Structures are given as structure tokens and as C-alpha cells.
Amino acid sequence: MPMAEEHWIWRCDCKIANDPGAGRQVLDELLERMNAEHWAQHDVYGVCLAMEEALVNAILHGNRLDADKRVHIDCRLAPELVRIEITDEGDGFDPSTIPNPTDPERLECPSGRGVMLIKAFMSRVWYNAKGNSVVMEKGREKA
């Protein structure tokens, strides 16, 4: 379950241009905050990879590189939880229809691994009914 609002120690809620580099500043700030809170480096790396993948999916697949569209990012950091919500202005998709990229016939396909990587690196992942918004949470591992 998401945490109560008063537990967040940092938050960034913004809309970015539909450009692959536009989310970098938000991502860098989140990673800097995680490092300042002494999160394990493998968790910082996993959050970085998952957020990069979700941003690319929103910009490329959701908004189809349309310069008139935006991507909404809502990142939150608590001492024990990172929560990232990324929403595009596209038509959405059904995540259950994404083929398994580890199937032998799909191994050489150049795309299709983003959703799998997001699920692998985050503790919880869910999509809205339309399929144009993903929420990802990473719980801090116990020492």
C-alpha cells in the first residue's frame, strides 16, 4: 500500500516535454536523494533502470514521439519506499498482451524488454485501466 502523505521526505510532481532526455533532471535528483538516504546501490540502480524504461515507454510507445504531448512524472521518496508514477497522453495498452521477451522465438527482437525489466527491479508495479499510467514502488531492503 502507498504510504500516507506525511511520510514522504521528497517529492517531485511535474510534466516534461515528450523528449527522451527531458526526464533526466528528475531522475538524477531522485537518485541523488536515494544516495543521500544511504539506499543500497543495487536498489538505486534498479530504480534508475526502471524509471528510464518507463519514461522511454511513455515517450516512444505511449505518446509516439509527438512533440505536442507531455509526460507526467510524480516521484516520491520516503525513508523505506520509492514511488514513481509516469503517465503519458497516449491511448494506453494492455500490459497482459506484451509477449514474454525470454521466449526463444523473441530473443532477437529489439524491443519488448522494458515491462519485464520494470517488474524485475521494482517491488510492486501496476497500470491504470487505460494502460497509459504506470505506478512503480521499490521497498527498501532490510539490512
In degrees rounded to 5, what are phi and psi of residue 57?
-60, -45
Q: What is the pLDDT of residue 3?
A: 47
pLDDT (mean) for 70-96: 97
Cell 498482451 belongs to 97
What average pLDDT does the structure give for the chain? Answer: 92
Provide the whole-model pTM: 0.92
How far apart are alpha carbons 22 and 37 in whole angstroms? 25
Helices 24-36 & 41-56 angle (0-180, nearest 10): 160
Question: For the chain, which domains are there?
Answer: 9-139 (3.30.565.10)
How far apart are alpha carbons 75 and 58 in whole angstroms? 15
Q: Name the more confident of 6 and 59.
A: 59
Name residues whose C-beta falls within 8 Å of residue 46's C-beta, 6 or more positions apart in sequence: 121, 122, 138
pLDDT (mean) for 54-58: 96
**CB distance 16 to 23 below 8 Å:** yes
How far apart are alpha carbons 77 and 92 in whole angstroms? 26
